[in-house]
Amino acid sequence: MSRDDDRNVESRRIIDRVGAETEASMAKRVSDHMSGRDADEKDWAELWGTRIGRWLGLALLIYLVYWLINFVVSNG
């Protein structure tokens, strides 16, 4: 049983490490996406247009979710 326990502990350690790395990389991807890092940094209009558009899109999504919840609750 000791060998199985060692394998289980090692497996959990690996899974926890992969999970932590995945969360960190996902947070960085979201941060990079919202700040427009994939836009051409030499073109200020494209850079700021990308940033503003993505933040406005997020704001619209939040508003639509709020409206939908409010609509369902008030008519339910």
pLDDT per residue, tens digit, the chain (76 aa), is 578 888 888 888 888 888 777 877 888 888 888 888 888 888 889 889 999 999 999 999 999 999 999 999 998 6
Query: How many CB atoms are closer than 10 A to CB 55?
Result: 13
Q: What is the dihedral of CA 65, 55, 35, 24, to 10 degrees?
A: -10
* pTM to 2 decimal places: 0.61
At 33 the pLDDT is 83
Q: d(Cα 40, Cα 50) in Å, to the nearest integer?
A: 10
Q: How far apart are the first and last CA of the chain?
A: 56
